[in-house]
Amino acid sequence: MTDTLFDREGARGSDSPEVSADSPLADRMRPRSLDEVEGPEEVVGSNGFLRRAIAEDRVPSLVLWGPPGVGKTTLARLIAAQTASNFLSYSAVATGVKEMREVLEGSRRLRSRGGKRTILFLDEIHRFNRAQQDVFLPYIETGEIVLIGATTENPSFELNGALLSRCKVVVLDPLAPEAIARIVRRTLRDISRGLGARDFRLDDEALSFIAQTSGGDARRALNLLEAAAADAEAGKTKRIEVSRLRELLQRKVLLYDKAGEEHYNLISALHKSMRESDPDATVYWLVRMLEAGEEPLYLARRIVRFASEDIGLADPR
């Protein structure tokens, strides 16, 4: 009988993929235990629900909701590595429903033969439409898979009710600057995976700059640190200067998706600022959207609409 896609992938078991010395710094520094994870205390802390669920090997199906670089993929890998499970990872961008059915049927066969339970990680799960999402329901219901979906979009808007009712939604907020700073310090100290063997020096100003400009994204922070380290070595120095960090970054990349939830969050903030007659906040939100690439005509239409609906009706006499 020809091996299915699941059979080939499933042979990897629950181990995390090997990371080579040539891998990007952000990939090499992925946490290898929950103790290294920067995240909500109620999720990954000493009494967090996820830590307890892993210890008891009773992890439920999850939807990990948060912006890029907050640890969604890392958490899924840690769950698989620390439980008696087979781990499969896919992206909804590159995977169709037909292929996913093969994977799900393979997990059913493996389970029926007394094999390990399968943890199926699906990145960008919101790329499957609501009808396509139904493919997971019977397998979650019978416990043949534990689904861990990752999304940057609000699950209430993008996932169907039947799937949401079978999954626990875990909200992962952007990392605080203090958390980013801890990750950067750990990277500078780590000899085996990080930059510890190369003895770079980073003063408080440079550390604060990386933490503040990362936008809560650990991957972005480590990418900047890696670029700065390479730049310092090219200049025959071990000191990473904030002036060079500014040149490498050029400008902070603002989190903005133009079509998703962050788009509407910022438009709402602009409206509220105008409604409260706060000129400083109004200019801030307006410039932030323009700097992030919003169409000026769209903003102009929203301001005209605000003038008509909010200000125009304030005194109908």
Residue 316 lies in a domain: no
**In which domain, by residue range, is 113 found?**
5-171
Query: Whole-structure pTM over 0.85, yes or no?
Result: no
Question: Looking at the structure, do residues 119 and 40 belong to the same domain, yes or no?
Answer: yes
Number of domains in the chain: 3
Cβ atoms of residues 60 and 207 within 8 Å: no
Domain shared by 86 and 189, yes or no: no
Shared domain for 14 and 148, answered yes or no, is: yes
In a domain, 107, yes or no: yes
Which is higher by pLDDT, 4 or 240?
A: 240
23 lies in the same domain as 100:
yes
Asked if residue 310 has pLDDT above 80, the reply is no
CA distances to 12, 43, 58, 307 from 311, in Å:
62, 44, 55, 5
CATH number at residue 219: 1.10.8.60
Q: Is the pLDDT of residue 315 over 60?
A: no
Residue 234 located in a structural domain: yes
**Looking at per-residue confidence, does 295 or 181 come out higher?**
181
Q: What integer pLDDT is reported at residue 294 of this predicted model?
A: 82
Same domain? 197 vs 307: no
CA distance 109 to 3: 12
**Domain's final residue, options 201, 229, 249:** 249
Report pLDDT digits (tens) over 254-297. 555 666 667 777 888 888 888 888 888 888 888 888 877 788 88
Instruction: Judge if 37 and 113 occupy the same domain.
Output: yes
Angstrom distances, CA of residue 184 to CA of 35, 169, 196: 16, 28, 11
For all residues of the chain together, what is the average pLDDT? 85
Tell me the two tokens of residue 267: 């438009």
What whole-number percentage of the chain has pLDDT above 70?
88
Residue 256 within a domain: no
- Comparing CA positions, the residue from 162, 128, 149 lying closest to residue 61 is 149
155 in the same domain as 217: no
65 lies in the same domain as 205? no
| Residue at 23 is within a domain | yes
Region 153-168 average pLDDT: 93
Residue 41: inside a domain: yes
Give a yes or no: residue 317 inside a domain.
no
Mean pLDDT score, 30-40 = 90
- Find the CATH number of the domain harbouring 117: 3.40.50.300
Query: How far is it, in rounded angstroms, from Cα 253 to Cα 4?
Result: 42
- In this predicted model, which residue has the larger pLDDT, 83 or 317? 83
Q: Which pLDDT band, with edges at 50, 70 and 90, does 316 fall under?
A: low
Q: Which CATH number is 285's domain given?
A: 1.20.272.10
Residues 155 and 50 in one domain: yes
Residue 117 neighbours by CB under 8 Å, 6+ apart: 84, 85, 86, 111, 143, 144, 145, 146
Q: Are residues 144 and 32 in the same domain?
A: yes
pLDDT for residue 17 is more than 50: yes
Q: Please check whether residues 24 and 152 belong to one and the same domain.
A: yes
Residues linked to residue 117 through DSSP beta bridges, in sequence order:
85
